[in-house]
Amino acid sequence: MFFVSLIPIRSGSPLGGEAERSDAARNRELLLKAARELIEECGADGLTMDRLAERAGVGKGTVFRRFGSRAGLMMTLLSDSEAAFQGRFMFGPPPLGPGAAPLDRLVAFGTERIAFVLEFGELARAADSSAYNRFDVPAAVLWHRHIEMLLRAAGVTADPWLMAMSLSSTLDPERLLHAVRVHHVAPERLAESWCELVTRVVSCPGGSSRRTENNSEGGG
């Protein structure tokens, strides 16, 4: 069983967690405070790095040295809730945490994740919007591994890594928010559909050999 570095997410410091100069620490707090205020007032989409710098009374360069990018800032803002979520599905009580059947944990995971995304909607989306490595951010890797691990535990033998990727994509914030906000899908429907999906993926006997022409079982 593998382990990611344990609630990695993202601190405020640039990279190495070494000591932080006092002015840097002070500015980080100023920035986080200003960011929360701005989001309160204008929403996450209304937060621009310029306005944030101005509001916090620091230079723009400082903002980017602290958080690397806009997405990095959003991740930092999410990190508390995110860490709590991670703690719950890794160490918390069943059915989300260890102890329950893998399928039950999968269902619980998706349900909670959907609720999380819908609660912190704009933030979660903004945190994703980094250019390329959206999927290699520590938190995303952790979810992926968690799903993959549960799939294996549930006896899914067919390429659990890719299957976990498919399941993860279903929980993509942008898609979930789009369904809810544009198509007015009720959140419970999302959870039910997730349940349906993972149940089928897990419960079905491995039906791998049906694409090639030999012994197709249910061709129809």
Question: Interface residues with its own copies (CB under 8 A)?
Answer: 101-104, 107, 133-136, 154, 158-159, 162-163, 165-166, 169-170, 172, 174-175, 178-179, 182, 185, 189-193, 195-197, 199-201, 203-204, 206-208, 210-211, 218-220
Our CA angle for 7, 9, 11, nearest 5°, is 105
User: How many residues bind to DNA according to rule CB under 7 A?
Assistant: 29
* Residue number, 66 or 105, with CB nearest to DNA: 66
Over its C-alpha atoms, the chain yields an Rg (Å, rounded) of 20
CA–CA distance, 64 with 28 (Å, rounded to integer): 11
> Burial, 17: exposed, middle or buried (Cβ in 10 Å; 0-12, 13-18, 19+)?
exposed
Pattern of binders to DNA over 107-136, x per CB under 7 A?
-----------------------xx-----
| 145 part of the interface to DNA, by CB under 7 A | no
* Residue number, 133 or 214, with CB nearest to DNA: 133
* Residue number, 49 or 201, with CB nearest to DNA: 49
CA–CA distance, 63 with 197 (Å, rounded to integer): 42
Q: Beta-carbon neighbour count of residue 219 at 10 Å?
A: 6
Pattern of binders to DNA over 3-22, x per CB under 7 A?
----------xx---x-xxx
* Residue number, 77 or 163, with CB nearest to its own copies: 163
CB 143 to DNA: min, Å: 22
CB 75 to DNA: min, Å: 12
Q: Beta-carbon neighbour count of residue 165 at 10 Å?
A: 14
26 token code pair: 């002070």
The interface partner of residue 193, options being DNA, its own copies, none and the CB cut-off 5 to 8 Å by kind, is its own copies
Residue 171 and residue 187 in contact, taking contact as beta carbons nearer than 8 Å = no
> Burial, 18: exposed, middle or buried (Cβ in 10 Å; 0-12, 13-18, 19+)?
exposed
Rule CB under 7 A: choose which of 64, 102, 135, 177 binds DNA. Answer: 64
